[in-house]
Amino acid sequence: MIPRFRVLAVLVGGLAAGALPVLATRVLAEDSREAARAEAAAPSDPAAVAIADRVMAALGGRRRWDALRGLRWTFGVAVDDTVRSTRRHSWDKWTGWDRIERQDSGGRRIVVVVNVNDGTGRAWVNGRAAEGDSLRQLLELGKSLWINDAYWLLMPYKLRDPGVTLEDAGEAVVDGAPCDKIALSFARVGQTPGDHYWVYVRRRDDRVVKWDMVLQGNQPPPRSYTWEDWEEAGGLWFATAHRDGRRNVSTRDIEVAAEIPAAEFVAP
């Protein structure tokens, strides 16, 4: 049997299995109690916390982020000019419901509506409701896709999430610009708590410009992706491109939603 996240790597990137890092949850509701215990056991470095707070302020501020109701965006992967996969999300941040629309490798239209907090939901394949094992598998995949795609979009907003341990990793220069570097680790939270990230924050504007990652089960050296082509939506800032040589992981067509109609979560 192929491990589930190895399969997901193919679906996410449309590439050879494992070609694109698949990011695990960075603390959903069911992890909150364990996250609080982990955070108490492994407190973050105050210097790194101060950097993370500067990042949040530059993104638009904690108050505006907390007030956000919902987001729509398109996640995609391209190699050179060839798009390998794409899918559209509509996420209600307050309720946890996410609608994912995509085409599978056979050209079928897949719609999954999943509550990312508890895994419940519904799904359709070419307009027909999925049931039984098919529904269960689609909901599991839908939640994993949201976990992956949302972290590529929202990581800078989640630096201070419960269970995230931050450390000051010194200084670096990226494309000639001085940066602060912070290390992220996760104690007993999420699906892969062995993941490690290093985030580079440009000092002149407190903007994330790059991250390195060594995901659970992998060995150094880390893989690096840029955070670039920043755009503003609803007073908040989002990177729309993450490049690693020929590969671009895009998070584009971002819409900030004051309200997401309930109808988006009940029908294909």
Distance CA 265, CA 55 (A): 33
User: Do β-strands 97-103 and 207-214 pair in parallel, antiparallel, or remain unpaired?
Assistant: unpaired
Residue 180 CB coordination number (10 Å): 22
Q: What are phi and psi of 143, to 5 degrees?
A: -65, -40
Q: What pTM value is reported for the model?
A: 0.86
What does each C-alpha distance from 216 to 1, 11, 170, 196, 198 come to in angstroms? 19, 19, 23, 8, 14
Sign of CA dihedral 171, 59, 54, 187: negative
Longest dimension (CA), the chain: 55
Quote the DSSP letter at residue 189: -
Torsion of CA 212, 215, 221, 227, to 10 degrees: -20
pLDDT for the residue numbered 188: 67
pLDDT for the residue numbered 18: 36
Quote the DSSP letter at residue 29: G
pLDDT for the residue numbered 81: 83
pLDDT for the residue numbered 30: 41
Question: Going by C-beta distance under 8 Å and a sequence separation of 6 or more, which residues neighbour residue 82?
Answer: none
pLDDT for the residue numbered 31: 47
The ranges of the chain with pLDDT < 50 are: 1-19, 24-39, 41
Assigned CATH class of 4-265: mainly beta
Kindly report, residue by residue over 5-60, the tens digit of the pLDDT.
322 333 344 333 334 555 544 444 444 444 444 445 468 999 999 999 999 999 99
Contact 228, 238 (CB under 8 A): no
Q: How do the domains of the chain map onto residue ranges?
A: 4-265
What does each C-alpha distance from 115 to 89, 139, 179, 267 come to in angstroms? 13, 9, 37, 15
